[in-house]
């Protein structure tokens, strides 16, 4: 937020020639390497720098004095026009704080440009007197991101077929299709089978992420009982808990707790978070899963007594391929894709995942889904 006060203006006047400081501010504004647009409190363009004009393809005459959301069309990723009241420049007046967003602008010639922008209100004595938007062209970055996503998708599709073939052949050898095998051969084949399973898990994680990144996930909602769903997840992971000598306590209301969700995908989200809670908790410690019915949402809390997460890493954890270094990460393995995918799925349900944690004491992951 940019804050001007009457007193700071007076203080400046005592030491600096106001004409000089104005000229310096003007020069700074005009020479910014990014596009910059200043509006008044009604959202009308009052100043615009050369880079902004160059990027948008307009002349200053065509924009100055016009209501900015009307003058320059903004779209979201899918190509839908962002309604004027949802434009960052409008929101900034409502919220009174800076907003950063990825927005696609239509240039004067109709072509589309991906931008990353930050809009800040300009405040004078706690009242907004206008806004400043600074934006840069990120078309190349977006293209590169798309190419990378396509590569991941293609490579994982190509990898899946031969890896599935290996699974079938090793499975056949283990079942004795090619004759009796010695116990030593059996052990080696079992190792091969498990390595191949891990490989297939990585490939399917990559495919799931590529699918959601390509915007191809459409939720298939149906009303289900979450008590039953969570119980199923816990039962399905029973061997995992046994192997680590962990007990899981499931706390839930006596009645059913229903929600309209994409069952298969939410099941995978819960599975991932409960599995993580087990993975990042030492053997012999316990987990607790709690289901709560709130007035406007359902809440699933997964609490562990594990290694914990440093505060600075909490947001990082939800990024693609992000694996944090902790005392168990080498031992348990993983792709760093589970939480990224889980958050995207919860976002599609308009819900939220929050985390609180203490290093060495444990973590609490809470998923809330509006009902
Ligand atoms: P991974 O496949 O590595 O488990 P995730 O995306 O599921 O990938 O998790 C990302 C990282 O977040 C993990 O590598 C781990 O460092 C950290 N993490 C996730 N859950 C927990 C937890 N319950 N306790 C401590 N660290 C966790």
Taking Cα atoms as reference points, which of 211, 250, 215 lies closest to residue 229? Answer: 250
Percentage, residues of the chain above pLDDT 90: 74
Whether residue 312 sits in one domain with residue 297: yes
- Considering only CA atoms, which residue is closest to atom 7 of ligand 1? 338
Q: What is the pLDDT of residue 218?
A: 93
- Considering only CA atoms, which residue is closest to atom 20 of ligand 1? 276
The predicted-structure confidence for 53-82, as pLDDT tens digits, reads as follows 999 999 999 999 999 999 999 999 889 999
Q: For residue 26, what is the domain's CATH number?
A: 3.30.450.20
**Cα 92 from Cα 97, distance rounded (Å):** 6
Whether residue 88 sits in one domain with residue 27: yes
Whether residue 340 sits in one domain with residue 291: yes
- Mean pLDDT over residues 311-332, rounded? 89
- Mean pLDDT over residues 320-333, rounded? 87
In which domain, by residue range, is 340 found?
Answer: 221-370
For the Cβ of 338 lying below 6 angstroms from any atom of ligand 1, the answer is: yes
Taking Cα atoms as reference points, which of 22, 5, 24, 43 lies closest to residue 133? Answer: 43
For the Cβ of 280 lying below 6 angstroms from any atom of ligand 1, the answer is: yes
- Closest ligand 1 atom to residue 324 Cα is 16
Considering only residues 262 and 332, tell me which one the structure prediction assigns the higher pLDDT: 262
CA of 23 to the centre of ligand 1 (A): 52
Q: What is the pLDDT of residue 3?
A: 57
Q: For residue 245, what is the domain's CATH number?
A: 3.30.565.10
The predicted-structure confidence for 204-260, as pLDDT tens digits, reads as follows 999 999 999 888 899 999 999 999 999 999 999 999 999 999 999 999 999 999 999
Taking a C-beta distance cutoff of 8 angstroms, is the pair 145, 169 a contact? Answer: no
Where among 213, 244, 272 does a domain terminate? 213
- Mean pLDDT over residues 138-162, rounded? 91
* pLDDT for 6 beyond 70: no
Whether residue 132 sits in one domain with residue 7: yes
Residues in the chain: 371
For β-strands 352-358 and 297-304, DSSP reports them as unpaired
Provide the number of structural domains found in the chain: 3
Q: What is the pLDDT of residue 2?
A: 59
Whether residue 146 sits in one domain with residue 130: no
- Mean pLDDT over residues 178-188, rounded? 95
Average pLDDT, the chain: 91
For the Cβ of 323 lying below 6 angstroms from any atom of ligand 1, the answer is: yes
10 Å CB burial of residue 39 (0-12, 13-18, 19+) is buried
**Cα 214 from Cα 277, distance rounded (Å):** 29
* pLDDT for 191 beyond 60: yes
CA of 190 to the centre of ligand 1 (A): 27
**Cα 264 from Cα 22, distance rounded (Å):** 60
For the Cβ of 335 lying below 6 angstroms from any atom of ligand 1, the answer is: yes
Where among 213, 244, 274 does a domain terminate? 213
Whether residue 353 sits in one domain with residue 231: yes
Q: What is the pLDDT of residue 13?
A: 41
- Considering only CA atoms, which residue is closest to atom 12 of ligand 1? 317
Whether residue 357 sits in one domain with residue 245: yes
Whether residue 28 sits in one domain with residue 86: yes
CA of 124 to the centre of ligand 1 (A): 45
Percentage, residues of the chain above pLDDT 70: 94
Q: What is the pLDDT of residue 5?
A: 46
**Cα 193 from Cα 189, distance rounded (Å):** 6
**Cα 280 from Cα 146, distance rounded (Å):** 33
Taking a C-beta distance cutoff of 8 angstroms, is the pair 368, 351 a contact? Answer: yes
For the Cβ of 324 lying below 6 angstroms from any atom of ligand 1, the answer is: yes
* pLDDT for 8 beyond 50: no
- Considering only CA atoms, which residue is closest to atom 8 of ligand 1? 336
CA of 332 to the centre of ligand 1 (A): 10
For the Cβ of 307 lying below 6 angstroms from any atom of ligand 1, the answer is: yes
Whether residue 243 sits in one domain with residue 207: no
Whether residue 190 sits in one domain with residue 271: no
- Closest ligand 1 atom to residue 326 Cα is 16
- Closest ligand 1 atom to residue 322 Cα is 10
For the Cβ of 276 lying below 6 angstroms from any atom of ligand 1, the answer is: yes
pTM, full prediction: 0.74
The predicted-structure confidence for 73-128, as pLDDT tens digits, reads as follows 999 988 999 998 899 988 888 888 899 999 999 999 999 999 999 999 988 887 88
CA of 187 to the centre of ligand 1 (A): 30
**Least confident residue range of 43-57, 90-104, 334-348:** 90-104
CA of 365 to the centre of ligand 1 (A): 11
For β-strands 112-124 and 2-4, DSSP reports them as parallel
Where among 161, 183, 213 does a domain terminate? 213
């Amino acid at each position: 937020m940019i804050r001007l006060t009457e007193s700071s203006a007076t203080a400046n006047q005592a030491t600096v020639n106001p004409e000089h400081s104005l000229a310096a501010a003007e020069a700074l504004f005009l020479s910014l390497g990014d596009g910059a647009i200043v509006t008044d409190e009604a959202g009308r363009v009052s100043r615009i720098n050369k880079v902004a004009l160059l990027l948008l393809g307009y002349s200053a005459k065509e924009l100055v004095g016009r209501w900015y959301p009307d003058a320059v069309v903004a779209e979201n990723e899918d190509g839908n026009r962002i309604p004027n009241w949802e434009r960052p420049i409008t929101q900034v007046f409502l919220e009174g704080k800076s907003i950063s967003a990825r927005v696609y602008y239509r240039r004067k010639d109709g072509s589309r440009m991906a931008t990353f922008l930050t809009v800040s209100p300009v405040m004078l004595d706690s009242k907004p007197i206008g806004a400043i938007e600074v934006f840069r062209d990120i078309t190349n970055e977006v293209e590169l991101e798309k190419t990378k996503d396509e590569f991941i998708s293609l490579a994982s599709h190509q990898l899946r077929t031969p890896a599935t073939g290996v699974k079938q052949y090793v499975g056949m050898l283990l079942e004795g299709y090619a004759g009796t095998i010695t116990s030593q051969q059996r052990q080696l084949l079992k190792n091969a089978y498990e390595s191949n399973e891990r490989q297939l898990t990585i490939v399917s994680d990559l495919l799931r992420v590529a699918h959601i990144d390509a915007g191809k996930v459409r939720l298939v909602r149906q009303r289900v009982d979450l008590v039953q769903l969570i119980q199923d997840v816990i039962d399905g992971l029973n061997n995992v808990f046994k192997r680590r000598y962990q007990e899981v306590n499931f706390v839930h209301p006596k009645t059913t707790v229903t929600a309209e969700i994409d069952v298969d995908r939410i099941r995978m989200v819960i599975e991932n978070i409960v599995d993580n809670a087990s993975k990042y908790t030492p053997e012999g410690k316990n987990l607790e899963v709690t289901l709560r019915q709130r007035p406007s949402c359902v809440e699933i809390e997964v609490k562990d007594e594990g290694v914990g997460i440093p505060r600075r890493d909490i947001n990082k954890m939800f990024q693609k391929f992000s694996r944090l270094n902790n005392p168990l990460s080498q031992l348990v393995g993983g792709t760093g894709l589970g939480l990224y995918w889980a958050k995207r799925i919860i976002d599609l349900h308009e819900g939220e995942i929050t985390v609180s944690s203490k290093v060495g004491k444990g973590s609490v992951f809470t998923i809330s889904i509006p009902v």
